[in-house]
């Protein structure tokens, strides 16, 4: 791996953050939980598909209180905060757009806080994986209605809620939001906001809708509005059996057909993943495959024994360009078809798809929640700070 970081230093703000903020974070979280080495920073600047700017540090808070205090320190210093769960997305959602960024790895917030079979809910810290949650519920013969994406070995409850995840259980129960009862979110100033059932001063979070529900504001926000730290999900009896169907989409095939010659020449292949969603929706997700060099992300995340079986390819920039073009055309097609996208990140045409009044309200909310634009800048198409 090339760890040449020359040219990374970009200005007074970054130098200040490096010399003042990073030691403050280390004092708060412990040296082992503040990663500043080039290898770590490079890894955290990559998702399954691409790379962003290297953050100045990566922090791994071990409790909600630590995370809130660290957010407060980072934004008070004028640096950006980016949450990363299992890192299993591929739409640039947690890729920093400026070096003056601290990435928050939430995977140490992995406690199952409460399983309540009587009132049928489970409260977890948002860095828990779907696998760990399913394993914790199995002895109770209970399940969350939505019980995770295909990437749930590593993907977290917080990541799924931030992207409107769909898959296991979606056929009957819809996207992850529909299993949600309550959230606790750390806002840009480090304060903790409770939504849905968690907002009740007394009692248990068995029900989400009591007056206006603030939970929806934070689901599918890709981390633009805050960092989710605790979530409460509904429980149902584990069903005896599950069934699956598959679909294809002619208009999406046409996008690939338009580029058939280049795809053939560059060895780019594709398929589609699909599933029903809540009885009135169908997920169609294009999957694109091409020969290319491995990134630090793949070397780190994949099991070495599995990786050893895979062929090694040279860097393939022409193929990457065509893939970027395909992804853009598919995003345009979905927007033009009136589709709702999840895992929006910086890829899907969220702003361009919205009604003008809704967009104005969202912009006003973003300004209210994050006046300096420091909470995951660029994601959902919210502008980066102008400083």
- Of 15-23, 65-73, 153-161, 318-326, which segment contacts ligand FAD by CB under 6 A? 153-161
Chain residues 190-249 in contact with ligand FAD, contact rule CB under 6 A: 222-223, 227-228
Calculate ∠ Cα 160-85-332, nearest 5°: 55
CA pair distance 196, 215, nearest whole angstrom: 6
For the bound state, the minimum distance from the C-beta of residue 98 to ligand FAD, rounded and expressed in Å, comes to: 15
Burial 348-375 (b: 16+ CB within 10 A, else e): bbbeebeeeeeeeebeeebeebbeebbb
User: 99 or 125: whose CB is closer to ligand FAD?
Assistant: 125
For the bound state, the minimum distance from the C-beta of residue 372 to ligand FAD, rounded and expressed in Å, comes to: 18
106: contact with ligand FAD by CB under 6 A: yes
For the bound state, the minimum distance from the C-beta of residue 104 to ligand FAD, rounded and expressed in Å, comes to: 8
- Of 32-40, 146-154, 254-262, 360-368, which segment contacts ligand FAD by CB under 6 A? 146-154
* Calculated CA dihedral for residues 315, 317, 322, 326, nearest 10 degrees: 70
126: contact with ligand FAD by CB under 6 A: yes
166: contact with ligand FAD by CB under 6 A: yes
Contact characters 357-386, ligand FAD, x per CB under 6 A: -------------------x--x-------
Contact 207, 197 (CB under 8 A): yes
Tokens of 298: 């793949």
The residue nearest ligand FAD at its CB is 159
Single out the residue of 219, 232, 343, 353 in contact with ligand FAD (rule: CB under 6 A): 343
- Of 13-21, 154-162, 190-198, 203-211, which segment contacts ligand FAD by CB under 6 A? 154-162
Single out the residue of 52, 158, 190, 220 in contact with ligand FAD (rule: CB under 6 A): 158
User: 256 or 342: whose CB is closer to ligand FAD?
Assistant: 342
- Of 13-21, 22-30, 160-168, 255-263, which segment contacts ligand FAD by CB under 6 A? 160-168
Chain residues 8-37 in contact with ligand FAD, contact rule CB under 6 A: none
What secondary structure letter does DSSP report for 129? B
Nearest of 101, 58, 66 to residue 379 by alpha carbon: 101
* Calculated CA dihedral for residues 16, 20, 26, 29, nearest 10 degrees: -90
For 164-216, the DSSP string reads: T---TTHHHH-SGGGGEEEEEEE-TTS-EEEEEGGG-SSS----S-SSS--HH
User: 84 or 349: whose CB is closer to ligand FAD?
Assistant: 84
3-state secondary structure of 270: strand
The partner residues of 228 in beta bridges, in order of sequence, read 185
Single out the residue of 13, 28, 38, 48 in contact with ligand FAD (rule: CB under 6 A): 48
**Residue 45: C-alpha distances to residues 13, 53, 93, 187 (Å):** 19, 6, 11, 22
Contact characters 60-99, ligand FAD, x per CB under 6 A: ----------------------xxxxxxxx---xx-----
236: which residues sit within 8 A by CB, 6+ positions away?
Answer: 120, 142, 143, 144, 145
For the bound state, the minimum distance from the C-beta of residue 164 to ligand FAD, rounded and expressed in Å, comes to: 7
- Strands 80-84 and 227-234, sheet pairing: unpaired
User: 106 or 295: whose CB is closer to ligand FAD?
Assistant: 106
User: 222 or 326: whose CB is closer to ligand FAD?
Assistant: 222
The partner residues of 289 in beta bridges, in order of sequence, read 269
For the bound state, the minimum distance from the C-beta of residue 377 to ligand FAD, rounded and expressed in Å, comes to: 11
For the bound state, the minimum distance from the C-beta of residue 353 to ligand FAD, rounded and expressed in Å, comes to: 18
Tokens 């102008």 correspond to what residue? 386
Size of site (CB under 6 A) for ligand FAD: 35
Burial category of 17 from C-beta neighbours within 10 Å (exposed 0-12, middle 13-18, buried 19 and up): buried
Q: What residue ranges bind ligand FAD (CB under 6 A)?
A: 48, 82-89, 93-94, 106, 126, 149-151, 155-156, 158-160, 162-163, 165-167, 222-223, 227-228, 342-343, 345, 376, 379
């Amino acid at each position: 791996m090339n760890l040449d970081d020359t040219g990374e230093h970009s200005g007074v703000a970054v130098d200040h953050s490096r010399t003042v903020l990073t030691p403050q974070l280390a004092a708060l979280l412990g040296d082992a939980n503040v990663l500043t080495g080039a290898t770590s920073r490079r890894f955290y600047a990559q998702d399954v598909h691409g790379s962003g700017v290297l953050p100045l540090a990566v922090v791994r808070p071990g409790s909600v209180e630590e995370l809130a205090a660290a957010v407060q320190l980072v934004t008070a210093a004028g640096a950006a905060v980016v949450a990363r769960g299992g890192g299993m997305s591929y739409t640039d959602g947690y890729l920093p757009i400026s070096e003056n960024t601290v990435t928050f790895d939430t995977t140490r917030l992995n406690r199952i806080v409460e399983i309540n079979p009587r009132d049928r809910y489970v409260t977890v810290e948002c860095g828990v994986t779907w696998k760990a949650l399913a394993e914790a519920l199995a002895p109770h013969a209970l399940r969350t209605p939505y019980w995770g994406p295909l990437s749930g070995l590593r993907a977290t409850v917080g990541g799924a809620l931030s992207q409107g995840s769909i898959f296991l259980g979606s056929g009957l129960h819809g996207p992850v939001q529909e299993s949600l009862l309550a959230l606790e979110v750390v806002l840009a100033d480090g304060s903790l906001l409770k939504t849905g059932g968690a907002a009740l001063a007394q009692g248990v979070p068995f029900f989400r809708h009591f007056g206006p529900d603030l939970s929806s504001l934070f689901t599918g926000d890709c981390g633009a509005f805050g960092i989710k730290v605790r979530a409460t999900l509904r429980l149902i009896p584990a069903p005896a059996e599950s069934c699956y169907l598959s679909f294809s989409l002619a208009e999406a095939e046409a996008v690939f057909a338009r580029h058939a010659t280049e795809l053939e020449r560059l060895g780019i292949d594709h398929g589609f993943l699909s599933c029903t969603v809540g009885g009135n929706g169908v997920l169609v997700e294009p999957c694109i495959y091409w020969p290319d060099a491995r990134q630090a992300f793949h070397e780190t995340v994949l099991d070495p024994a599995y990786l050893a079986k895979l062929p090694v390819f040279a860097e393939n920039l022409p193929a990457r360009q065509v893939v970027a073009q395909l992804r853009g055309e598919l995003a345009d097609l979905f927007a033009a078809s009136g589709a709702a996208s999840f895992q929006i990140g910086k890829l899907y045409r969220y702003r361009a798809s919205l009604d003008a009044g809704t967009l104005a309200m969202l912009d006003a909310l973003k300004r209210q929640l994050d006046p300096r634009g420091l909470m995951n800048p660029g994601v959902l198409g919210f502008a980066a700070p102008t400083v």
